Structure 1
Amino acid sequence: MSNLDDSIDAAAAAVRAGEAVVYPTETVYGLGADATDASAVERVFELKGRDRSKPLSVGVPDAAAAREYARPTPFETRFMERFLPGPVTVVVERGPDLSDVLTAGGDRVGVRVPDYDVTLDFYRRADRPVTATSANRSGAPSVRTPAELDPELRDRVGAVVDAGETPGGTESTVVDPGRNVIHRRGAMADEVASWLAEETGDPPSVDSE
């Protein structure tokens, strides 16, 4: 366990130094960098080969941190209290400290609070919001073990937190509760849809990316 502890420390230090790192979540491995640092976020886009017009999400350790970097409405806060921590990315109004690069200049951001102690420990040690996007080249499958990482991507990150195989394999459901839209069906999608339908009186629309 000490090796894992050391690797979490190393990854947190790398994020604070402006580097990108690979870290596990309860779904798949993620690619993380300081979400307040435009250059660090650019590096994540570059490593993934991701179109800059497609926003990235941000990972934080708890709901309090989410409210520090985002501006959820009371309804969105209730949704977050129901589903976070968990494999759900909640799209809400962004706060001013997040990089414009992260949100592709938009006014909303996806927020993740994974239900996985290793991830939450890493976020706390990093002491800043971290990009939450899968650690794969765009278009390639997500990875559940470090052995599945693209070799070039692995060579270019500052650290890899190796916690073995991730507990799940389905990516998070991406939902904008304030607009009653599911952008991507993933883990817990049926529960999310049922909650929104009950709370709003209308089933959510599904916008496949």
Structure 2
Amino acid sequence: MLRDEVNKALEVIQQGGIILYPTDTIWGIGCDATNTEAIKKIYQLKQRDEAKSMLILVDTENKLESYIREVPAIAYELIEYAENPMTLVMPGAKNISPALISADGSVGIRVTSHPFCQQLIQRLRKPLVSTSANISGQPSPQNFAQVSEEIKTGVDYVVNLEQDNRSAKKPSTIMRLEPDGRFEFLRR
């Protein structure tokens, strides 16, 4: 089941499509983080201002250096000891679509622990865009049942996993991290 869903999602993403999928936090909308056209589709679907960047998921912390010029040493400790999923916003983004990079050169990046996401990213060999599965300004859905029809029908593929799970999930903690190790919480 998991392998089949990874294969289906991978095919859609490789063709420039966008997917609705479960993550280690809330349901997300995603695509290949190097495909600017696919990223623009997500902005259109969410009716989101392109100045508001979206985060990327990687499957292991070893991949951080592929997408961030200078990863502060503390980043690895924060990821290792975080009790909840942690998104780190760091400057020096590279090797991803410019549409994901903030005006200050930063990008939010999270090492996912979700088996579907990990396998999909391994197969894609690129980071996965992840943004909450809602129209901009509306509440983030805590489970699949709360995802609007507009989002479900607006994506190219809905991953058929965990759709019956009604437990309430929360978005990740977001922390801005500077190369010198200074940090601030943007969302707890």
TM-score in terms of structure 1 length: 0.78
Show the counterpart of 2:175. 175
> Deviation of residue 65 (structure 1)?
1.7
Quick check: 2:66–2:94 contact (8 Å CA) kept in 1? no
C-alpha spacing 1:64/1:166, structure 2 compared with 1 (3 Å): farther
> Deviation of residue 166 (structure 1)?
7.1
> Among 59, 62, 65, which residue is 1:61 paired with?
59
Q: Which amino acid aligns with 1:138?
A: S
Show the counterpart of 2:134. 136
- Deviation sequence 1:172-191 (CA, Å, 0-9, x none): 01001333111111xxxxxx
| Cα-Cα RMSD | 2.1
Are 1:73 and 2:76 an aligned pair?
no
Using the alignment, how far apart are the partners of 1:13 and 1:158 within structure 2? 11
> Deviation of residue 161 (structure 1)?
1.4
> Deviation of residue 167 (structure 1)?
6.0
Q: Which amino acid aligns with 1:74?
A: A
Quick check: 2:145–2:166 contact (8 Å CA) kept in 1? no
Using the alignment, how far apart are the partners of 2:176 and 2:40 within structure 1? 24
**Structure 2 regions of 5+ residues with no counterpart?**
none
Using the alignment, how far apart are the partners of 1:123 and 1:168 within structure 2? 25
Aligned partner of residue 76 in structure 1, secondary structure: helix
> Deviation of residue 145 (structure 1)?
3.5
Q: Which amino acid aligns with 1:102?
A: L
Aligned partner of residue 101 in structure 1, secondary structure: helix
Using the alignment, how far apart are the partners of 1:166 and 1:76 within structure 2? 32
> Among 129, 147, 150, which residue is 2:148 paired with?
150
> Among 12, 15, 18, which residue is 1:17 paired with?
15
Identity %: 29
Q: Which amino acid aligns with 2:33?
A: A
> Among 76, 80, 88, which residue is 1:90 paired with?
88
> Deviation of residue 33 (structure 1)?
0.9
**Structure 1 regions of 5+ residues with no counterpart?**
186-209
Using the alignment, how far apart are the partners of 1:29 and 1:44 within structure 2? 14
Using the alignment, how far apart are the partners of 1:65 and 1:168 within structure 2? 29
Aligned partner of residue 40 in structure 2, secondary structure: helix
> Deviation of residue 74 (structure 1)?
2.1
C-alpha spacing 1:145/1:125, structure 2 compared with 1 (3 Å): farther
> Deviation of residue 115 (structure 1)?
2.3
> Deviation of residue 154 (structure 1)?
1.4
Higher relative contact order (CA 8 A, sep 6+): 2
Using the alignment, how far apart are the partners of 1:150 and 1:167 within structure 2? 17
Q: Which amino acid aligns with 2:58?
A: V
Quick check: 1:26–1:168 contact (8 Å CA) kept in 2? no
